[in-house]
Amino acid sequence: MTAIALCHPGRVPVMAWSSFVTVGALFAVAALALGEGGQGWRYWARELLPVPLLPFIFLNLGHLIPLVNPHIRDGVLLAIDKVLLGPEAQAVLYTLPLPAWLADVLTLAYSTFYLLGVALLLTLGARRDPFLPRVASAIVITFLVSFAGYFVVPAYGPRTTIAHQRYESLPGRVGDEVREKLDQWEKTKTDAFPSGHTMVTLAVLFCARRRNRTLYNILLPLGSLLIAATVLLTYHYVIDVMAAVPLTAASLALSAWLAGPVPPVRGAPAAVLPTGD
């Protein structure tokens, strides 16, 4: 991020690129200071170190994406959707009325996106799962791959193009307020492809199924609603969600290569901490 900003002097606010340098330096110092092992707050600080960093990265991508790729690709994604669905089904999808209660449920599920990963990390951390670092790596790498996609295929999503009127008229008192807040907080607007919500949710479900089946059973219906909401609430094109599946698999494979695979509990009991040499 800092390199992109410095390569385009004058086009990124000084406060933005200086914050990239500052946060990056603080993150590196904290990682080195916390090191391996540790108990109490040091354990939690080390294992949860990426949690505040990921939103910071996302919220600042909006400054950088136009510098790398100024070409908006909504038209291409919309055309692909038309081929996949057919013009009739596509028209139905983006005009389909939703009852207020369903719009509220879908919106609330959609808003829990970041909390799913945090819930998994906290649950595994409370059990001192020795494979927590691998789970965290899998989730972080999935986030970063989705972020990279925004640079390759910048797009606003159907809520600002073909389904703008439908998005603005979605019913539901609770959902309407939540969507308004999400729109205000989301500073990076060209984040439709791929569906990061789908990618990270799939990665969290994959890791939860391997390390904590009880939590997986709780997160599965919530995650399913969240993924459905990406299309039904017109945040994403269908191709955004479809592309998220192989990209999630690639992200998990990359994480397994870099940090090691996330094994199922039956093959590696999660209650024992590695003691080292």
Return per-residue pLDDT of the chain as tens, 277 residues: 555 545 555 555 655 555 555 555 555 555 555 566 666 667 777 777 788 888 888 888 888 898 889 999 999 999 999 999 999 998 888 888 899 999 999 999 999 999 999 999 999 999 999 999 999 999 999 999 999 999 999 999 999 888 888 888 888 888 888 998 888 888 889 999 999 999 999 999 999 999 999 999 999 999 999 999 999 999 999 999 999 999 999 999 999 999 999 999 874 444 444 444 4
pTM: 0.86
Q: Which listed CATH number (1.10.1200, 1.20.144, 3.30.1370, 3.40.630) goes with 72-267?
A: 1.20.144
- The 3 state secondary structure assigned to the chain is CHHHHHCCCCCCCHHHHHHHHHHHHHHHHHHHHHCCCCCCHHHHHHHCCHHHHHHHHHHHHHHHHHHHCCCCCHHHHHHHHHHHHCHHHHHHHCCCCCCHHHHHHHHHHHHCHHHHHHHHHHHHHHCCCCCHHHHHHHHHHHHHHHHHHHHHCCCCCHHHCCCHHHHHCCCCHHHHHHHHHHHHHCCCCCCCCCCHHHHHHHHHHHHHHHHCHHHHHHHHHHHHHHHHHHHHCCCCCHHHHHHHHHHHHHHHHHHHHHHCCCCCHHHCCCCCCCCCC
Domain spans, the chain: 1-68, 72-267
